[in-house]
Structure 1
Amino acid sequence: MKRIMLLSATAAILLTGCVSNKKYAELEAEQQRTQDLLNTATVKLNACLADEAAARARLSALKEEVANLRKSNNDLISTQGNLTTLSAKGAENLEKSLESLKEKDLQITRLQDALTRKDSVTLALVTNLKRSLSDQNDEDIEVNVEKGVVFVSISDKLLFKSGSYTIQPRAKEVIGKVAKIVIDKKDVEFMVEGHTDNVPITNNCVRDNWDLSVLRATSIVRLLQDEFDVDPGRMTAAGRSEFVPLASNDTAADRAKNRRTRIVVLPKLDQFYEMIEEGMEEAKQKSGEGGN
């Protein structure tokens, strides 16, 4: 009996040992699968962590890029605003420059008009003087224009006796013709210049050639005023003595050329400037109308 019980116990122990080994193998296999899964999960986790790190780095880079883009955009907007302001100022300055050029063009045109009117007056005056004095000897009377100024040069042999400032009767006809032309030209004034040669002169009435040249000029001015009613406010008497000669004074013929009286006909400068100022004012008004 005891032997049977011992065999039974031994069988039970053996049977129990067999079940445990099988279970152990299964458990070991399960553990291996679990370990494999864990390893796979660890690999995937590490890959995910690496991806996350890369993503975070990319995100940081993108954020920095976005910040830079925003700054650049703000800078561009600011620059555009500045450029717009500069463009507006530039356009305004350009417009002002164009208006100024237009005004200057108009002023130049008005100035040219004034000069043209002056030249027209001068031309008409010269034409009338030459026509009026055409019957006189060309050697005794010359009418010419120099730099826009009309000169009537009359030889002293026609006007005065040697060393005298008394006008000869026959000279009054010539002076009267000149007076007839200039008296109606209210926009001109004139100067009478006396010129002598270099031969010294001294007598009870005349001290030197300065005196003689001035006295001859004043004689002509008085004649124009007293006998031909020329406004004295339009006349000037001047003596140039021997110091503006036409010739050398070395010969009698040259000295005769130097003894002369010149009537210098000028446009009234105040009226000429008024013509210019009127033109300038008109140009400004027209420029202002164009700007409006």
Structure 2
Amino acid sequence: MMKLQLLPAALIAILLTSAGCVSKKQYTQLQSNYDTLQNKHRDLNVRFLNSQQELSNANVRNKSLEEQIAAGRQNLASLQAALDKCLTSSGQGNVNISKLVDEINSSNKYIQQLVNSKNKSDSLNMVLTNNLTRSLSREEMKDVDVQVLKGVVYISLSDNMLYKSGSYEISDKANATLTKISKIITDYKDYEVLIEGNTDNVPIKQTNIRNNWDLSALRASSVVQALQTRFNVDPKRLTAAGRGEYNPVADNNTEAGKVKNRRTQIIITPKLDQFMDLIDKAPEKPATAPKQ
């Protein structure tokens, strides 16, 4: 399970140390911002846990459907074998054959219902991906890695695409990429957006950055502020988080793995009622008779 962790306290500490002494008014404002972020953090965690529970239940139901489909097909094969035996046996009457045919037809109908349910579940990720990337052209999609896992959209961007080397400052070349991302975010204005910074396990060597926790949080904050100030994304929808080196997607023992781990993820989460609307919009596949 993905655990959301915010570092507003670390961010405040860095601002204090980098700017020297601050006025009481500035400190009060920073404390107020910290309290606001803490409240948003708690609210986001509650929403995330609720969504995870709903998704977990859906996965259990999906697994059950698969098991029922397999059992139904096995039963159908047994019924078909019994019917074949009846047709070749001169001792069986028409009544038994008719009964077997009815059972086979009923089993076929039940299996089709299960298959339709599973097809609808499997189509959700495709529907969500298509809806959230409809603002991007095919050419633009080459620069943006979009994945949907259990109803949550993950847009992953490498650090060398976004930041200056060893820094949390947004580079000039990142504007084109963030323009594309902002199209997705503004297209679905009611969705929650979490910007999550991630690093490799190499310690940062900067006097004004204590460790990879700080670096990942600062990078996430930079993206949040760029989306707000440059692309007019509503800041109430945005949350900045840093996970340091503790959420790797590849082996940090290789250079290629380190490159993959140095990334910023933009996580777009539908609220529960919006997710249910997407379920209702999932395309139905035309019913076809199961293969015998």
TM normalised by structure 2 equals 0.49
Which of the pair is proportionally richer in helix?
Answer: 1
Query: Which structure would you say has the larger RCO, counting Cα contacts within 8 Å and 6 or more residues apart?
Result: 2
Structure label with greater radius of gyration: 1
